[in-house]
Chain A
Amino acid sequence: MEEQNVHIPKRPFWSGTVTIGLVSVPVKLYTMTFDKAFSFRFLHKQDGQPLKYQKVCVKENKVVPWEDTVKGYEVTKNHFIVFEKEELRAAEPQSSQKIRIDKFVDYLSVDPIYFEKSYALTPDKNDEAYSLLLTALQTMQKAGAGKITLRTKEYPVLLHAYKGALVLTTLRYAYEIADPGSLEELKELKEPEKKELDLAKKIVADLSGDFDITEYKDGYEERIRQLISKKMKGETIVAERPVKEEAKELMVALQETLKQLKEK
């Protein structure tokens, strides 16, 4: 239970080329970041069976099969423009299988607030071009900035060297990030007094150190992990069959009798 590594998956989920002007570097992409791989399933409290989601028509209160669904854009409340699946598919961007690099920037000049998801790149077939690009970025401390099309969305990306690999990070668009300066509470901040500022600076200096992500643990996840191992050692987790209607009455009777016998 100590081991906490996140492993790179066995299969690439995308392959294509990094293009820099006329130069092409064939690459494969592996998912590198994982959101909370830990998850629960919803169960029915009374019988412990897994619950599933279904699309239910609001008017008929009936489950609608996938073939009978279309997508709607809500123009005003409860007014939709309807799209067939084919219409939307036709509008999807052509996946060019390319990571187009436009320019090289200082990696640290890009605020991490834009960073969305990172992918590890590996050479596809031929690793000479890959090795060349990796070494160049490493020695110059630069990152390539450009664009990728994944599924139906185009992303700005940053390509940099990390732990001996080329890593692609998708970025958020400018309009996807709010400007905190526009928050009311921040508009009229009081200037600190010099004495206070000196004290604050001293505290910061005293607590300065190197950043180490492994110092941080998810306490909640750890507690849940402990609970899981306890339960696995044999308590209370039982797989069950649905309780039938008549068994419910039986249960009520049983509870009442147990209570009566206890009182005796």
Chain B
Amino acid sequence: MSNIVRLAIRNLNRQHDEWRMEMSYVERLTRVEFTNLSKVLYPEKRITKAKVIEYYVKMAPRMLGILADRPMVLTRFPDGVGSEGFYEKDLPLGTPSWVQRFKTYSEAAQREINYVVCNDLDTLIWLANLAALELHMTLSKTDELEKPDLVLFDVDPRPPADVYNVIDVTLLLKERLEALGLRSYVKTSGKKGLHVVVPIAREYSFSQTREFVHQIAKYLSKESSTVVSEFSKVKEPRTVYVDYLQNSHGRTMICPYSLRAVPQATVSMPLSWHDVKKGLKPEKFTLFNAVESPSNPWERLFEDKQKLKV
């Protein structure tokens, strides 16, 4: 046998010994190079990063459709929930070249921002590996950033108002939307509130959708004494705020099925409307059981492009 081959074999063996890269069989299935898989990200529930990634892998078929072509804002917790997390709008350092990105001017930041766009499974896995527990997405898409395809009603209680008040207000909102001929979708925020989303044709500006939500919020505040529709009144206790301001350029919504960075590892869980009734406990939807929900109530979200009367 030639010496060159012998040398080659010896080198291969040496590489086996010397390479200490974060590689494994798993990673042949993805381009992501995993790091610190055994790091605990939810100390109270002993959830490791591997489990978080596994969760997003399992939810990917339900998430990738709605995430597609939307700039994202990440909330990263490299040292786990309970330690300091940080918002990240710009691409993180060392972003692999295969991650899609979208550059645009941010009015809030007064500068150009390179957003991550999650259009494939590998990007979702990569985000999870960054400990980006919370995935926030814009209400419009990159090709027409000023024309939202989603209208968001963020129904949020102020203590001691609680989930019962939120459910009442949300059902009232649903009725109102139905009266206007609009189909709406509901999900838990993963915290105390509920989110109601109306998919629309991309014909309206953010100021139009924002005003639309504002008008309905004002209507609800007349119908129900608990509802407040104005930001200035948010601090009033025992109220439910219907936030319309999120329907703005550069603002985001927590993505359906995204984890939340709270100790219980809750998720923003899409619901069927018939689940929204007395007894609904938003906090019971967590990393552990979200996977088991048999179907995605938001599956038909984009099926018809609804028109608003503005």
Contact = CB atoms under 8 A, between A and B. Distances in A.
A156 to B, nearest CB: 30
A198 to B, nearest CB: 44
A1 interface: yes
A237 B58 CA distance: 29
A244 interface: yes
A6 to B, nearest CB: 8
A254 B2 contact: no
A237 B12 contact: yes
A246 B51 contact: yes
Interface string A15-48: 0000000000000000000000110010100111
Interface in A201-245: 221, 225, 228-229, 232, 237-244
B15 A239 contact: yes
Contacts of A43: 16
Interface residues of A, number: 42
A256 B9 CA distance: 36
B1 A4 contact: yes
A243 B13 contact: no
A257 B1 contact: no
Contacts of B2: 1-4, 225
Contacts of A47: 24-25
Given A48-B16, A247-B34, A247-B50, A257 B61 contact: yes
A197 interface: no
Contacts of B53: 250
B306 interface: no
A184 to B, nearest CB: 40
Contacts of A264: 61
A103 B17 CA distance: 53
B20 interface: yes
B54 A249 contact: yes
B60 interface: yes
A246 B50 CA distance: 6
B34 to A, nearest CB: 7
A221 B1 CA distance: 8
Contact of B26 (A38, A229, A250, A261): A250
B98 interface: no
Contacts, number: 109
B223 interface: no
A44 to B, nearest CB: 10
A239 B21 contact: yes
Contact of A240 (B24, B54, B125): B24
A48 B34 CA distance: 17
A243 B24 contact: yes
A255 B24 CA distance: 14
B19 A239 contact: yes
B172 interface: no
A232 B3 CA distance: 15
Nearest to A4: B2
B201 interface: no
Contacts of B22: 241
Given A240-B24, A243-B24, A243-B25, A261 B15 contact: no
A30 to B, nearest CB: 17
Max chain A Cβ within 10 angstroms of own Cβ: one of B17, B20, B25: B25
B121 A246 contact: no
Nearest to B51: A246
Contact of A239 (B5, B9, B16, B60): B16
A254 B64 CA distance: 14
A166 to B, nearest CB: 26
A192 interface: no
B32 to A, nearest CB: 10
B3 A3 contact: yes
List the 3 shortest-distance A-B pairs measured between CB atoms, nearest first.
A239-B19, A246-B50, A251-B26
Given A250-B53, A264-B61, 18 more contacts: A38-B6, A228-B9, A229-B8, A239-B16, A240-B21, A241-B23, A244-B50, A246-B37, A247-B24, A247-B26, A249-B54, A250-B26, A254-B30, A254-B57, A254-B125, A261-B60, A261-B61, A261-B121
